[in-house]
Structures are given as C-alpha cells and as structure tokens.
Chains A and B, each alone.
Chain A
C-alpha cells in the first residue's frame, strides 16, 4: 500500500461488504498501537493489502486529509478472521472521525452479532427549534424570542421575522444533510419556544426541507409543541395534514392563579379550548405537560391538576418538577425549597402523588418525568435518553452527531453568523468530540432516567468490564436499600448481592459467566419508582464519583493489557 511509506493521516469512510467501514489512522506514534492490535487478530499487511486492492481510490485521498486523532481503541474480538475496533478521535480537522469501525474479512454470520452495523450509529432523528413565544414565562431560561401577541399591526413584521428564521433553518438543514451521512428521519421534533405560533406554510417549508435533504421515513414520529391559545381545531387539522403525527401541549397547570403566577401567556379557558380542539381533530397521540412545585402550590391544587390532565385524555403526560434556573425571574424571586416554593418534602409528595395517580390511570412511568399509555412513548425523546445521535437545527439547539455534542448560539445574530460559516465550511463543525469519560457519564446519567434502566451487558461491551464493575459496585448500596432494582436478562428481579459479584471484573468476563447461570446475571439496573427516581441525582452522582476521571481512562491497565503495548505509546 502506497500510503505505508508516509503512514496514514486520515479518517476514511467507504462501504465495505455488508458494513460501512470507517478506517482510521493516526500519527505515526499512535499507528503502532493500531498495528499492535491488528496484528494480534490477524496481519496488518494483510489488512492493508486487502484495502488497497479492493479500494484503490482510498489511497489517493490520503494525502489531502490530515488529522491528529487521539487513539483509544477498544479492541474486542476473538476470531482470527475478524477484527472490530473502536477508535476515538478528539481532534480532526478535515473529515468527521471514525466512531465504531468494523472490519471483517469474511463477514461470516457467526461473528456478526458482536458488531455494530455502522448504520445504527447514523442519526435518524432531528430536533428543530422554533424560538418564538408571545412572552417569556417566569421560570424559562430557554433560547426564545418574545414576539408579543399577534395583532393587525404586528402581523406583517412577525411573519417577515419568522420567514427569515425559517430561511436560516432550511439553509442549515441542507448543509448538514450534504456533509453528514444519514438515514431517513424516523423522529422529528419541533420544540420551542412555541412552534404553534409559526404560520403553517412556514412549518410545512421546514418539513419539506428535511424531507428533501434527509428523507422522512414512512411512519416517522413528527411531534410539535403547541401552547393553548395559539391554535384551533382548524389550524391543528392543517398541521396534521402537513405530516405532524404527535402534539405536545404545554398546559403546566389547571389552576388559573398558578398559570398567572408563572407568567403563562394563556389562561384556563384557553387550556380547555385547546383540549377540545385536539379532541375535535381526532388526534390520539398527544401529550400534556404539567409543572409541579410552583410557588404557593398546594397538594390539593396539584391533585386537581393531575385529575384534570387525566380527564383530558392524552396518551402521554410529562410532569416537570420546577427547577429554578439562573437568569430567570423565578431565580430572582424565589429560592428552591423555601417558601413560597414548596419544601423538598412537599415536592417529593407531589412527585409520588403524580406517580400513583397516573399509574392508576393506566399510564406507564417510563422516564423520570414522563408517563405514557402503552406503546405511545415519545420516540424522539427516547433517542436522547438512549444517548443516540441526532441532528438539531435552530437557535440554541444541541445536536449529537459524530460524537460531537454541539450547542448552537443562543443569540439570534450569532446563530445567523453560525449558519453563514457552516455553509462556507461545507458543513464542518469545529468542535471536540465527547471524550470517552463524557460518554460513559452520559450513558449512565441518561439511561438511569428510563424505567428500563441501564443495560449492563451493552454497557460492558461498550466501555469494558472495569468500568462496568465500578458502576455495579457503586450501585450496590442503593440496590440493597431499595432505590435501585436489579434484573436478569429475562427482566426478572434478582438479588442486589449479584452486583457485588459483578464488581469483581475478573469474575465477570462475559455474558456466559463461569459462576452464574443466565438467570443469575445482572442484565439491567433501574431506579425504582418513585423512591429511586426521586433521588436519581444522588444515585447518579455517586456513580460519577466512583468512576475514575480524566485521562485515567486512557491508560487503564485493562486497555494496555489488551494491546500488549507500553504506556507511552498510548499517551
């Protein structure tokens, strides 16, 4: 292979066999690591020649691309004919770096089950931020633009402003699509702000742009947030005809005093009118948001809100415990846990009340603050909680593509500048990838929000047995005191003590552990409802503090052993 002479300096991407293959190389210091690992599985020359003979075009692109990746590979394969490795790059200047790379010479079926087809790691979700609101609620710190009420006088100006924003959005969507490999979108979420303030033709333009750029899969979930007082049955029908399949309505409270107290732009009448409109439209898949622990809120008020919410007949309810965010008016007026905000104990009662009322009403408590009728969970939000990649477009939105969690500017002008430079750079985002450490923490934090919890087997495969063992050990005290439940692969509860066995990394080397039958192996851990959910921060931060931080991942002895290489090569 020609490039052997000047080493590899690039990140490549091309289809190979049934998998899409990303092959990553590095500076010559790290390439020895790769070679070292490859040679244990088969022969590096073999690999190279296989590439160059079948894909001669690859070598020709090499010299133009430069990168300085930081290699940390998790090399997990057994058969000599199969290699799979994960390579993480923190600094890439030319091309998106490799995420999970798979190389198979024979691609025999036996071995495939261990591998991640690359397509699963491509984003198939998108979030679109519509920042316009009539006014800013007192608790809100979102990137929004308050536009006031629509009147004869303001209408034209408002339309122009929104059209201008939608132009920017569409430009960003097109560039992102051209620069990133993707699949047709399976979930799409219009959040805000108040997306229902957007005139329907503009909304349709965005959907159109997404469809032509990425494609929208058949049966995709397309959600939109709507506020009472911003739509009627007519406009809702038009929205649904435009492709939207799900509505999330921000009611927040069924008490008019509380609506006023948090600065909502609508009253109670608008709420009931909006519920009637949704019922009138025939939409079944819709969600209703409530906020608990508002100032002066009583348990009686809260129960009433919950009952009214259930009576409205949504398929999904989100219950958010009020968080006092910096820079909000609430932050200026109130302090969490102190009067007139309910005390922590009262807030906890609100939470457990919600959990029991909604569960009795047939909702499944599938995430810390979300409840759904069976099969009607929010697929888009599950993408976040499963830590899967997703696109995001618009002011202040955060995308997670190529392991880069990138937040767009929150100021209108800066966002416009960003779109400008995004276009000129051809869709490049100059932003570091999440480190391995951040990915571990994100996975723990997000999956424990879900009722299904953390999939230990998958976690171990992704991050290694040492890390999994630390997590198991940190979870044990919570499991034995009933904050965390441990399940086997058949989702049957098993004793917390099992976690202790797992905290010995050597005894826990694979799915078919030596000491245990399958039913005695912890496959999932999840927080209990409501006790564990209520203290999720405590549990998660305990795991965080048990995990090593910073560069210690790089030089974990486990990795070194796997590669049989010296410390200085890796660092």
Chain B
C-alpha cells in the first residue's frame, strides 16, 4: 500500500481522477507527514516510488483506494491492494508446506523456482525478468544467487494422493544460494523448511555441493525429494544419476522425479510430490507466539523488513513483539506474505512464512536466528543458528582518500542489506582510513565489492584478503589477527604457537584427474582424509586444507587442472598449529602495511620473490631508484630494483600544441592524484588490484 502526495494543480487533480495517467509520473512527491499504520512515509528522496505506485495502479495491480485534498496544495492518494484479500486463516498448518530447493551451483535452482511460480500463477509467464528471485544486479550479471529469497504460492491440489486430501495449499518456496561462500544462507533457509527438493543436473550428476547440501538437509531431518533436472539435454544420463543417488545417499530410484525446468517436462509432478512427501509444519496453533527470524533487509521506504517463520501461535498486525536476544520491543506495523512481492495480509498463522515490518531502524537489530514472541510473554527461545563465520578479511579503502565519508555511507547502507559482512574501522599508512571487512569467502568479497561500486557508486581499493589467524604468546596472551599489519614482528613477546583455520574440502572429480588434484592439494599443505569412488568414472576426495591456501586461487587452479570437470565444496574445520611468519613488503626500506601478508615459513621465500617481481611490473619508475624488498622481520628474503625515471618530457610545444599538451599533463596529474604514497614512493591503485587479482600462493 502506498500513500503519496503530489502538488495540487487543476491538471493533477483531474489526472488522479482518471487514475493518474502517465503525466503524473513526472510529479515529485512531497513528504507525507502523517503516518498511518498501513502506509509508510514517503520522503522526498523517493521520487521513483511514486511512479512505481502509479504504474502498478495503471496496470491494475492495485487500485486507488482514496484520494483527498489537504491544505498546502497537496493531494493525498492512497493506493492499495486490489480487494482480492488473501485470507490466511483458511490455511491451517496441514495445508501449508515450507520447502527449499538445494543443488550444486548452476544445476538450475532459480529456473525451477521460476517455473513453479509460473505454474501456480504467482508470476505470469513471460512477464518480468527470468530468475525472478535473483533481484540484485550482481546476481543477474553473474548468474548466481546471493541472497536467499522467499515466495509464497497457492496451489490447488486435486489428485488426493497418499495422506493428503485435495484442497488449496499454501506453499512457501525458499530459494537458496548455491555457492559455497553462501552455504550458511542455505542452512538458515533450511531451518524454516520441512523438506527440500534436491536438484541434480542430469548430465553433471552429483557434485560436491550436492553432497554438502544433502547432508545439511539430512542432518536437519528434512524430507528430501530428489529431482533430476535438465533431462532434455543431449548428454543427459538420468539413470546414471539415479545410480549415484542410490550409492551415495541411499535414495530409492523409484522416488526420483525427472524434470526439465527449461521445457516444462515433468514439472507437474513436483508440487504434488511436495504436498504428499513433505510433512506440514509441526507448530502448535494455540501456543503463545514464537517465530524465527530468517532474514532481514533494509528497504529505503519501509525500514527493516524481516522474513519470519511462525513456529507457534498467531501474529496479527498491531501486536507488540519482543526479541529474545535484544529484549527490544516493536510494534508490528505491517505483516504479510511474499507473493512474491510484499503482500499485506494483516495476519500470519502457525507454520506460515512471511514478512514483518516493525520499525526496526537497522538490520543490526534484526539478528538472524533470533526468536520473536509476543511482548511480555515468557517463551522458550528457538534453537537459532550458528552465526555466520567470517572466513576472509580484507581492507576496503576509498580509492580517493577524500571519499571516505562517501564510502562510509555506502558500506553502512550495504551492510544494512548484507548483515553477513563484519565491518570495523582501520587505518593504513599507505591507504589512509578505511575498513576491515570480514567476508564469508572470496566470492562474497567480490560480490560485496561489486555491489559497493554498482549500487552505491563507491570507488574502492580492496587489499589482499587474509584469513583470521591466532597467535599465542609465551606470556599466555592471544592475538587474533585479521589484518597482517596488526602483527608486529618485534613485540618483545615470544610467539609460542600460531594457529591457522582449516577447512574440510570435498572434491568430486573424474578419476583421471585424481593424480594432479592430489599434487595440488599437497602443494597447498593439504592432508588427505578420504579417497573413494562415486561411480566407475568419478572419485571423491576429502582433504583437510589450511583456509588461506583455499581462499586464494585454489578454485581456479582446480578448475583449470580438471578442465572444469571437478566440483569443490568445503566446510569449516578446526584451527591447526602451523609455522607462520609475517612477510613485509618494503619500498625503499619503508614497510607498506597494506601489502603485508602472513604465510607459511616454507613458502615465504617463494612468495616474497613473486610479490617483488609483480610489484616491479606494476610500479612506475619514480624520480629515484626504488628498492622493493620482501622481509621476514629484519631478514630480507627477496629484492628487486626499479631504476630511476630518466625521461618524461614533451619535446615540442608550439602555439597550436598548448591546449593539447596541457591536457596530456592534466591526464598525468589525474594519474598522480590516484596514487597512494608510502614514504616517498608513489604506488598506483592498480598495483593493489593486480596483486590481488593474480595472487598465487
């Protein structure tokens, strides 16, 4: 429901009377002072919101409930839902199914989700963008899902199969990201489900994430419906995949559904299977309200929007709720379902999944996994989930030091939507003031970077990522190192043990690549845990690997060794003690804090040489000779020299040349302005980027 006001002119009033035709799109909105419970305030930044409301009005998606004139030459228009109110009370738990789709990346989750939404008439076929639930620009560009999304569907189940009577069912589909970095989003989504569709590509078969996700669902005790997708492909081998499912997961081949989300083949069996095989939510209708906070994001116009699953009881608009973690109380201003846009219903009942707008100011108040309940009631909090674990840390700095405020603002807004990033302020001698951000993985970091640039127009330099180490000193103190620069080489304290995080990696590969993958893993200081065969052609390797060896470049290397045929997934494992040293990079004797790294002692020389060599190629010649050194403490392990610049002159300059020469020099000046200065040496921004890009450890 949108309430907006526009300046009153004779033309506008008549336009509104005719349901606001296109001319009204140009009108700017004015802040609407009053704030009714079912409307939200439109501030003057929201120019685009009005056109959107008007557009949906014109398309008949909603209707103009009222319009009235108020003083100050304004017209207030209240645009609301079409009167087709959804009555959720008709859907008691036994008519509700919450499920999710899990699969290896690119096995077609988002496409299948689209088809199901179309099949139930939730979205109209051929309208809107494909991969409906991938809303972020970065998701569309990269063809990946980053944020879990939820959609509610209504489905008329007719056949009355085993255990279910015909009727209209409410289905909640929770789409999940496929990439390993976002696996915590998967486990979060699963907490709201009673079952999953395990999607496997008919040609590629079971892949590493299929395994990982299967066990996530299996351990959560969810009903699993195996679906083999893409059976229309030429090289599809559904029978072979069935065998794999049988041997690996002990799945009955009879129960496997065959579909092609692309052609629509077999889709008609999916939803009946969901209703028949997935149990309904087990909540207690009459118990006091308990709901699980699944996700939250920040909407510029409504504030924080929380996705919740009602476990027990009923939630109504206007009620007061309380958070089990923060003990903060909120008014439920708006609730509804995601159909698939926010659709107010005024009520959510046991077992249902929907959204709540409650006047939270930032997503930091909305702790994922929190239990929300009726204010001043005493309830047992729900189990919740493990908090997201930050695997990779990197410095994020404004490309131009003066843009710090802009970056600060951009990060604040982005973290409102992506609470899985941890942000702390830090400063660097080379890069000025910036932030140390913790990410779930490298892809997450990349996505964050891209979203900063695309959605918030920030120009940033990201430093080489590092994993969190723990240094234990002889005096018993411990230091958590998220930034190598924070580790001083001569703190006066003797280091007793260094701990580095490790992961348990699962690799599924055609068997001919096993040899080279084993070499790769041992180069990366891996320790073999398991080696088995999935079927005649494919092997599964399990390795324990130091996280730092995995985050940088491991995946690319793995793909190139196996021509893209191997799949890879990892889960966090415990810390292990390791012989780690801090490798400093010095320019003319001055350490560049932003380039410091922590490496295993056995690799320090090689990495040092590579770093120096790379730097030599990206640094411009300066007015003086520059020595590039890599050092462990005071011991230099590698050195390169850049000779002094000898010539930088525009030979000829006659009358007609003046403007052109000036422009050339101004261009050179722009380059200078982007330089970061360490001591007397200028480092181009590109240097940081290229070191990051090609880092091979």
Contact = CB atoms under 8 A, between A and B. Distances in A.
Interface of A: 127, 191, 318-323, 344-345, 347-348, 351, 368-369, 381, 383-385, 390, 392, 396-400, 405, 407, 438, 441-442, 445-446, 449, 478, 481, 483, 533-538, 540-542, 544-545
A177 B621 CA distance: 49
Given A323-B651, A398-B659, A441 B646 contact: no
Given A483-B623, A533-B649, A445 B654 contact: no
B478 interface: no
A348 B652 contact: no
A348 B659 contact: no
Contact of B656 (A320, A407, A481): A407
B614 to A, nearest CB: 20
What are the 3 closest A-B residue pairs judged by CB atoms, nearest first?
Answer: A348-B646, A398-B656, A321-B651
Nearest to B653: A449
Contacts of B653: 368, 384-385, 446, 449
B647 interface: yes
Given A445-B665, A538-B623, A541-B669, A384 B651 contact: no
Contact of B654 (A381, A533, A542, A545): A381
Given A384-B654, A384-B658, A536 B649 contact: yes
Interface of B: 621, 623-624, 643, 645-659, 661-662, 664-666, 668-670, 672-673
Contacts of A541: 665-666, 668-669, 672
B646 A320 contact: no
A315 to B, nearest CB: 19
A442 B665 contact: no
A96 B193 CA distance: 78
Contact of B672 (A344, A381, A405, A545): A545
Most buried by A among B647, B659, B662, B673: B647
Given A537-B648, A538-B623, A390 B662 contact: no
A318 B651 CA distance: 10
Contact of B662 (A318, A321, A396, A442): A442
Contacts of A369: 651-652
B649 A445 contact: no
Contacts of B666: 441, 541, 544
Given A535-B645, A541-B665, A544-B666, A398 B658 contact: yes
Contacts of A481: 623-624
Given A369-B651, A535-B645, A446 B672 contact: no
B669 A384 contact: no
Nearest to A535: B648
Contact of A534 (B624, B647, B658, B670): B647
B665 A544 contact: yes
Given A351-B649, A392-B655, A481-B623, 14 more contacts: A127-B655, A323-B652, A344-B621, A351-B647, A369-B651, A381-B654, A400-B658, A438-B662, A478-B623, A483-B623, A537-B664, A541-B665, A541-B669, A544-B666
A80 to B, nearest CB: 39
Given A541-B668, A544-B666, A544-B669, A536 B656 contact: no
Contact of A445 (B651, B652, B661, B672): B661
Most buried by A among B621, B646, B659: B646
A399 B669 CA distance: 26
Contacts of B651: 319-323, 368-369
A535 B649 contact: yes
B658 A446 contact: yes
A441 B662 CA distance: 7
A551 to B, nearest CB: 16
Contacts of B662: 438, 441-442, 445
Given A535-B649, A537-B648, A191 B659 contact: no
Nearest to B624: A481
A534 B646 contact: yes
A345 B644 CA distance: 10
A368 B648 CA distance: 12
Contact of B668 (A320, A392, A398, A537): A537
Given A441-B666, A481-B623, A544-B665, A537 B650 contact: yes
A109 B414 CA distance: 68
16 contacts: A344-B647, A347-B647, A368-B653, A392-B655, A398-B659, A400-B655, A407-B656, A442-B662, A445-B658, A445-B665, A533-B649, A535-B645, A536-B648, A541-B666, A544-B665, A545-B673
Most buried by B among A348, A400, A540: A540
A182 to B, nearest CB: 16
A183 B665 CA distance: 33
Contacts of B656: 127, 392, 396-398, 407
Nearest to B665: A541
A478 B680 CA distance: 12
A351 B669 CA distance: 24
A384 B650 contact: no
A344 B654 contact: no
Contacts of A534: 646-649
Contacts of B650: 323, 368, 536-537
Contacts of B664: 537
Most buried by B among A347, A351, A538, A542: A538
A536 B647 CA distance: 8
A52 to B, nearest CB: 40
Contacts of A322: 651
A533 B661 CA distance: 15
A318 B646 CA distance: 21
Contacts of A368: 649-651, 653
Given A347-B647, A442-B658, A537 B665 contact: yes
Contacts of B672: 541-542, 545
Nearest to B651: A321
Nearest to B646: A348
Contacts of A191: 654
Nearest to B654: A384
A26 to B, nearest CB: 27
